[in-house]
Amino acid sequence: MYSEKVMDHFRNPRNVGAIEDADGVGKVGNPVCGDIMELTIKVEDGVITDARFRTFGCGAAIATSSMVTELVKGKTVEEALSISNRAVAEALGGLPPIKMHCSALAEQALQSAIQDYMGRQKGSPGETKESGSGETEEQD
């Protein structure tokens, strides 16, 4: 049912925990399945240098959280914004269709952490680029 990579990231998750002085924090949950993810990131000169996660959920949720932290390290914030749930699933060698929501949750946690980081850069933790400015920026 699961690829070897999924099982490896479930049994030996990478980057577990939280960054104490994180530059961005993303918390998301799926009320249907009960999975909850928290992703913290450290950013230096626009590059994500560290990412950690804490996840309460199934094996696929843990594996996708682990993989997204691996994928994001060393990427610029802009590059990290383009990491999709499909990219997470593909990096794990695929997920069963019924578990694709886990990769979507990992993507959402990353997006949330980046939005938090961007808001802090503007002086308001948790505020997105668009909120509060009266203007809307289009994102790809």
* H helices present in the chain, as ranges: 4-11, 59-72, 77-81, 85-91, 100-121
Tell me whether residue 102 is one of the annotated catalytic residues: yes
Active-site residue among 7, 16, 33, 104? 33
Q: How far is the C-alpha of 44 from the C-alpha of 49, rounded, in Å?
A: 7
State CA 138 to chain mean position distance: 21
CA atoms within 13 A on the CB side of 18: 12
- Confirm whether 33 is a catalytic residue: yes
Nearest to residue 108, comparing CAs of 55, 44, 46, 43?
55
- Annotated catalytic residue within 37, 68, 102, 109: 102
Contact status, residue 42 vs residue 22, Cβ threshold 8 Å: yes
What are the residue numbers of the active site? Answer: 33, 102
